[in-house]
Amino acid sequence: MSYETTLKLFLIVSFLAPLIFTPSYSLTESVDLFGQINSADLILNDIWIEPENPKNGESVAVHGSVYNAGVIPTDKVSNVVTVGYMVNGELVEIDILENVLPGVENGMEISSGPIFDAISGNYIVTVIVNYHDNLSHLRDNPKNNIVQKIFQIGTETPSLINANIYQHYDTETKKQNVAIEGELTNIVGQELKNQKIIIDVDGFPSEEIITNSNGGFSFEADIPFKNEPIQIIAYSQEESFIPSFSKMIFPIKLDKDQSSLALEILPYSSTNNFRKSPLTIVIFQDSYDNLFKEISTVDHNNQSLMTGNFFLTVLPADHEYIIEVYIEGRLLDAFQKYFPSNEIIKKEISISESSQVRFLIINEIGEPQNDVIVDNWIYSTSSDEDGFTEWVETLPTFTANEPYVAKATFPDEKVVWSEPFLIENEDRKVIHIIQKGDQK
């Protein structure tokens, strides 16, 4: 046992022994002060650990800040005041508090000294001023003598980035102004301050920034305009980091009061430029009562363009938009979104070709009918001698309100319509069409 520790224990025992054997020990002040409420009132208003982010195995000390909200120094009330330090419910250190003068300006910092070695995990740290209750409750309020906090050490809890990216085109510099605003938290939503974030803009040197006291960070840069999307990634070098932020800067020139819709067409094929079957985008501004515009993926101008598998169109900012996407007159998707200034809202549009349908054409007694032409939406096929058509690739139906209906034209030019049917993603369905004698 060190000399310092031995001395602390000696002092504590020496000062506390009279408390056990002499009932009047804790009231050493003069009688005329007896009964003055909060004549010496210690306030423990915060605790923290140092170092703030200890490495594995590094010694950790607990610190706190204390002041006397009463009217007389603590040594006028008691000869000794103790401070208890607890870690995960275990008392690991008792220290003696120096005399604390009245007034916030006379507050002092206390420290346990090194009391545990850092190992990854969560630590419940409790500090209790006036641990042995040497200050009479007529003077010191025990409710403000205790502070408890949970400290996370190491990388046990993964962290992630949430951020928005904004862009506008500077007509004077001919560059894209890019701004990122975000925050770093762990997976339970606690902000992580003083952490290094790396911003990686494709084709440009990486930038390092530090999160503020609320876990927030911001980044702004002017970069040359490119006629292709540029990827931006924000990440931390911590092993527990979940790389959750990756967005695009798009080759579109936005003014300060503009935003943009970016439709990402999936799956993407370099052979499909949507000229054969273009998408139609119907945009309502703020409500269905205001049809803002109707455009197509073949409309390329300074307000709309196709780049790779992205279709971009410029919209006035700070409005709520209702957007419906059609192909060959059929609804593919619909969504509603608020468009802030200089933000590009990305939406994936899935054009699946994994669903298949074939038709079996029979008469009323179940006999197969051949050479029957079946038309539906954008495809046409015919039945063989067994009454079957070939398998046809088709898009899934978007809603139950828009089923498919197929038209069957027989060799005698009689027409029969199928019952309405739905197709889900990756479905393979056989649809029966029955020829009835009185149908035309």
Give me the mean pLDDT over the 375-404 stretch. 85
CA distance 108 to 68: 9
CB atoms within 10 A of CB 81: 26
**Which three-class secondary structure state does DSSP give residue 47?**
strand
Q: What is the pLDDT of residue 314?
A: 94
* C-beta separation of 438 from 414 below 8 A: no
Report the C-alpha gap between 386 and 363 in whole angstroms: 12
Please report which helix (H) or strand (E) contains residue 8, including its range. Answer: helix 3-21
How high is the pLDDT of residue 127? 96
pLDDT at 62 over 90: yes
Cβ neighbour number for residue 142 with a 10 Å cutoff: 13
Lowest model confidence (mean pLDDT) among 1-5, 95-99, 369-373:
1-5
The predicted structure's pLDDT at residue 34: 42
Q: What is the pLDDT of residue 272?
A: 42
92's CB contacts (< 8 A; 6+ apart) are 85, 86, 112, 115, 116
Q: What angle do CA 84, 90, 95 make, to 5 degrees?
A: 20
What local confidence, expressed as pLDDT, does residue 138 receive?
A: 57
Please, what's the b/e burial string for 172-183 (b: 16 or more CB within 10 A of its CB; e: otherwise)?
A: eeeebbbebebb
Q: Which residues pair with 423 in a beta bridge?
A: none
Peptide bond just before 411 cis, omega within 30 deg: no
Structure tokens at 331: 């609804």
Confidence label for 265 from pLDDT (cuts 50, 70 and 90): confident
What integer is the mean pLDDT of 216-222? Answer: 93
Is pLDDT at 328 greater than 70 in this prediction? yes
What is the pLDDT, as a whole number, of residue 352? 66
* 52, pLDDT greater than 80: yes
Would the pLDDT of 195 be above 70? yes
pTM above 0.85, yes or no: no
Angle, alpha carbons 423-425-430 (nearest 5°): 40
